[in-house]
Amino acid sequence: MTNKKLAVALLVSCVMLPGFSSAQTSRQADILERYTGSVSALGADAGTIKASPIPNPLAQPVAVPQAFSGAEPVSYSGTAVTLWYALGAQITDNGPWTNTPAFEAISDRVMAASKSRAYPARRAGQPSLFTDPGFVAEYEQATGARFTANNSARFLINGPASFEVKDALIRSAKKSLLVSSWAFYDDTTGYQAAQMLIAKKREGLDVKVMVDKKVKVGHGKKVVEMMKKAGIEVLEVQEGRANDIWHVKVMIADDQYAVAGGQNFGDVYSHKGGSILWRDTDVVFSGPAVLDAKRLLAGTWNAYARKNGFKTIDARNTAGLPYEGGSARVAVVMQNPPQSSPILVSIIKAMYAATRNINIENAYFVSLPVVTQAVLDARARGVEVNILTNSKESIDPEGVVIVEAMYKCLIPLAQAGANIHLYNGWRSPGDTLHSKFMTVDGEFADIGSYNLHPRGERYDTEVNVNILDRAAVAQLDAAFAKDLQKSRKVKSAADLDGKPTAMGSIANNFFYAQLDGAPQAAQNIIPMEE
């Protein structure tokens, strides 16, 4: 990007930001006025999914002061912070001093790690590569994350189900709680979570919290300060690159249970307060994989502990703990940009393992070249590809600027025969789709905090969980099918008319320029078995 173009982008962004924030507030008010649904209307049966062995001590709900009882307002400062660091990242990575790889270089690197000559992609109708132990071993090597056996894994479909489990785990904890989140919101959910964690700290438990330092400016400043004043060790993560974001959403209780996925501690996720209720998905697992999750969080915590005067985390073997256990093989993957992409590799390599179907549910689908190529190659093999993402009506206010880029990258996928579905959102109960998961052939699932868009790949630290277990994957596929009922299928290019806006054009031209590259012919990418 030239200096002239960059200056124009900065000028237009600064001028338009106040109006953009005002538009967000007006849009939210309109949503609230039109919204008539309730939690039960979001799929009542989804809320009944429980981790039954988890102790759930009876407790009175934490009373919430008036200052926290309303929905957290659309934040001018939060929008400003998000835009500021997005622009900062773009400036940094277009200078001669950058060591950040280009999106095309990332795609080439990921494709090289995902292709296999020992286990080439198979045509539709053949056994899934995930049924081959040799391929699974190669997959572990490529992603750097081993599958551990004898885990239980249950997907928590939507906020009420997830927070029922999270709250139960906090209340029943006897030894330790390690909680990582992009943000704690200054609302009912954030306040109640903070008070439960403070109560456990007063009982003598080891309570540690990790949040992104920059995001706290726009979300949850009061709640975070409340926890710190109560003696909880709160690590406000600021990584080496100023524009990176700590986007990890993982909670570990007593080293026995872990919850991971896309949900932060806020009302839009939990549905405990407010009227805007997002659709999201988490997974709770118990078994040896919990230690793997703890080790990943400990790596970051311990790197900052001494400087902050915190105790380090002992992530040595915890064998012998009374895990719930089960039939799932689970691998936990962390990605910290920019030099490696283990989560994206795990997604792309899984797509090349498919011989029947690929189901992708992701809130912000702006595909890098390697994602586009993997979808086109899957269609060339005869594999059914189903993609569900937000529509321009359902996407959250901060995400409106990327709709043009989202729709643009979906067009070639639809033309190749992929089934593209756009979430109806505020046209029906459910609001914004915030879920981030993928299933392959009924054998494999990937779920976590990773967004399939360039920022998620280039700047955000994420944790995803890979699962091999037919029973668990069937649960997620059923949830996907139910979500499709609240979406509309793209039937023509006209359905993907983003109707360019000034802010959307800035995002598209300066942040998603890699979309202009034409994908290669699918049949020339990888060898295929006959």
Domains parsed from the chain with CATH numbers: 3-519 (3.30.870.10)
Specify the pLDDT at position 87: 62
Using alpha carbons only, give the angle 452, 453, 459 rounded to the nearest 5 degrees: 110
**At CB < 8 A and 24+ separation, what contacts does 523-527 make?**
523/380, 525/111, 525/115, 525/373, 525/377, 526/115, 526/120, 526/121, 526/352, 526/377, 527/117, 527/120, 527/121
Specify the pLDDT at position 402: 86
Q: Is 353:128 a contact under the CB 8 Å cutoff?
A: yes
Q: Which residue has the tokens 């630290």?
A: 461
129-146: b or e for each residue (b if 16 or more CB lie within 10 Å)? bbebeebbebbeebbebb
> Is pLDDT at 473 greater than 60 in this prediction?
yes
Strand partners, 332: 465
Contacts of 231 (CB under 8 A, 6+ apart): 201
Residue 41's CB is within 10 A of a number of other CB atoms, namely 12
Q: What is the DSSP letter of 432?
A: S
- Average pLDDT of the chain? 83
- Token pair, residue 514, equals 């890699």
Specify the pLDDT at position 493: 81
Q: Which residue has the tokens 């995902």?
A: 114
How many secondary structure helices (H) and strands (E) does the chain include? 16, 16
pLDDT in tens, 184-213: 999 999 999 999 999 999 999 999 999 998
Under the banding of pLDDT at 50, 70 and 90, the label for residue 99 is low
pLDDT in tens, 162-192: 999 999 999 999 999 999 999 999 999 999 9
CA distance 342 to 466: 11
Using alpha carbons only, give the angle 182, 188, 189 rounded to the nearest 5 degrees: 40
- 104 or 189, which is more confident: 189
From 373, 372, 371, select the one nearest 523 (Cα to Cα).
373
Specify the pLDDT at position 323: 85
Share of the chain above pLDDT 70, in %: 74
Provide the whole-model pTM: 0.85
| Backbone dihedral angles phi then psi of residue 5, each to the nearest 5 degrees | -65, -40
From 282, 317, 77, 29, select the one nearest 180 (Cα to Cα).
282
CA distance 519 to 524: 11
Inter-CA distances, 300 with 120, 225, 227, 332, 448, Å? 36, 21, 20, 15, 18
Under the banding of pLDDT at 50, 70 and 90, the label for residue 275 is confident
> Is pLDDT at 332 greater than 90 in this prediction?
yes
Question: 126-130, 203-207, 347-351, 457-461: which has the minimum mean pLDDT?
Answer: 457-461
pLDDT in tens, 112-148: 999 999 999 999 999 999 999 999 999 999 999 999 9
Residue 402, burial from CB neighbour count under 10 angstroms (0-12, 13-18, 19+): buried
DSSP for 213-243, written as a single string: TTGGGTS-HHHHHHHHHTT-EEEEE--SSTT
pLDDT in tens, 49-62: 334 466 665 566 67
DSSP for 120-156, written as a single string: -B--TTSPPGGG-HHHHHHHHHHHT---EEEEEEEEE
Under the banding of pLDDT at 50, 70 and 90, the label for residue 36 is very low
